[in-house]
Amino acid sequence: MPGPQILSAEQVLLTTLVVKLAVMAALATMLVRYRRFRHILIFERRGWTDRLLLAMALGLPLTAGVASRLLLNYNAADLTLEGAFVVGLIAGPYAGAIVGAVVGLPPLANGEFIALPFAIGCGFAGGGLRELCPKEAIWHFSPFIVTRLPIRVWHMLRRRQIDWQLVLLMAPVALELIRQALGFRWSNHQRLFYLHPEPFWTLAVILLATVLAVATPIKIWNNARIEHRLEEQEKLLLAARVEALSNRINPHFLFNTLTSISSLIRTQPDTARMLITKLSGLLRRLMRSTDHFVTLREELESIDQYLDIEVVRFGPQLQVVKEVGVGTLDLIVPSMLLQPIVENSIKHGLTRKVGGGRITIRTERRGDRTLVEVQDDGLGMTEERLADALTGGIGLSNVNERLRTIYGTACTLKLSSRTGAGTSVSVEIPDLTLSERISA
C-alpha cells in the first residue's frame, strides 16, 4: 500500500511557489555580484555584446531550471515566463526573445510544442514594454501598488494618463493567465507546462507569485544601481571637498608671500625682484598641476621652491635639513601637504627667534604607512596655543581637514612642542596607489 500523503495539493503548490521565488532571488543575487553584469545594468545604452551577455547570463541558468523540471520533476525551477519577460524588460525585445528561445527548446523534446512560441512571446512582451514606457518606471516597479490599486486606476482615468506601474503589474498577470488558458486547453496532451490551480482559489496565489518573481530581480538589481550611484556621488563629493580645501590654502600662502615682498620693495628692490621671479615660478608649477595627489618626490621639489623664497627673506640664518627615508619618495601624498606646515614653522617658530633657525623634514617607512615630520628648533608653543593650533587659522587646520577627508579620522596631524625648544608636526600616511588619485 502506498504511504500516506504528507502534503495536500494546495500545500505542494504553495511550497513550489515559495521555492520558485527563492530560486529567482538567488539567481539575481549571484549575477549582480559580477562586475561585468553590474556594468550592464547600470548603463541603459547597451550594445549587442552587452545584451547578448545579459541574455546568456540569465538564459543558461533558466535553461538548467527547465531541464531539472523535465528530468527531476522539480517544478519550482522552471522560470520560463518570468525569466524571458524580465530580460526583455531590462535589455530589449531581441534579448528577451533569445532567452525565450533558449529556455523554450528543451521542452520540445518532451512534446511541449507550445512552450517555445510562448517563451519567445514573453520575451517580446517584456521588450515591447521597455520600448514604450519610461526606463526609470521599470526600475521603480513594485507589486505593492496592489494595496492602492483602486486609487491608481481612478487617477489614471481622471488624468487620462497611462500609469506605467499598473501596466507593468498587469503584463505578467496577463501572460500568466494566457499560460493558464493554453495549458488548460491542451492539458490532455501536455503541450505547455503550467502550475494547476487546484483548488481554483490558488490561481490568485499563482498570479501573485508570477508578479513577485518578476519584481524580485528588478528590485535586487536596482539596489545595485543605487549603490553604484551613491559611490559615484561620494567620490565626486570627496573630490569637491578636497578641491575646496586646497583652494583655501593657496590664497593663504600667496597673501603671506606678497606681504613679505611688499616689505622689501623699498629697502631691498633686487631681493624683492628675485622673490617675485621665484614666486611666479612656484605659482606656474601649481597652476600646471591639476592633481590633488602627487608623489612625495614632487612635493619635496615644490617645497624647495617655496624654501628658496624664505631663504632669500631670512638669509643664511635659515637652515633646512632633509632626512628622506629609503623607499618614501614614491609615496602618494596630497598636494600642498608640506608647504603650510613648513610655513607655520617659519612664521610661528622661527620668525621671533633671535639668531639662526633650522627646519628638519623627515620621512620614514613604518610598515604600510610613511611618517612625514616637519620639526623646527624655534620658540615652541604653550599648551594653550598647541591645543588651538589645529582649529584656529587656515594653514594647519586645512591640512588636517584634508587628511581626515581623504584617509578618515585615523589620519590626522600630531603636534608636539616644548617652549623654547621647538615644535614637531607629523602624520602617518597610509599607502595610496596611483589609481586612487582624485583628479580635479
Superfamily of domain covering 265-436: Histidine kinase-like ATPase, C-terminal domain (3.30.565.10)
Query: pLDDT at position 430, please?
Result: 85
Rounded to two decimals, what is the model's pTM? 0.61
- Residue from 432, 413, 416, 165 nearest 292 by CA: 432
**What confidence tens digit (pLDDT) does each residue in 241-252 have?**
656 555 555 566
Computed over its alpha carbons, how large is the radius of gyration of the chain? Answer: 35
The structural domains of the chain, with segments of one domain joined by +, span 9-231, 265-436
Cell numbers at 311, concatenated:
631663504
CB count in 10 Å sphere of residue 316:
7
Measured torsion, CA atoms of residues 64, 65, 71, 74, in degrees rounded to the nearest 10: 160
Work out the percent of the chain whose per-residue pLDDT is above 70.
87
Cis ω before 93 (30° cut-off from 0)? no
**334 Cβ neighbours under 8 A, 6+ residues apart:** 242, 292, 293, 399, 402, 403, 406
Residue 66 makes CB contacts below 8 A (sequence gap 6+) with: 77, 78, 80, 103, 106, 107
Judge whether 187 and 96 are in contact, CB under 8 Å: no
H helices of 265-295, in order, are 269-288
Give residue-wise pLDDT tens across range 250-295: 566 677 678 878 877 888 888 888 888 878 877 776 665 556 678 8
Which grid cell sits at 426? 607629523
Distances (CA, A) of 56 to 26, 62, 145: 17, 9, 31
Q: What is the pLDDT of residues 352-386, one digit of tens each?
A: 676 678 889 999 988 888 899 999 888 888 777 77
pLDDT, tens digit (0-9, with 9 covering 90-100), for 380-413: 887 777 777 776 666 778 788 878 877 877 788 8
How far, in Å, CA of 323 to CA of 321, rounded? 7
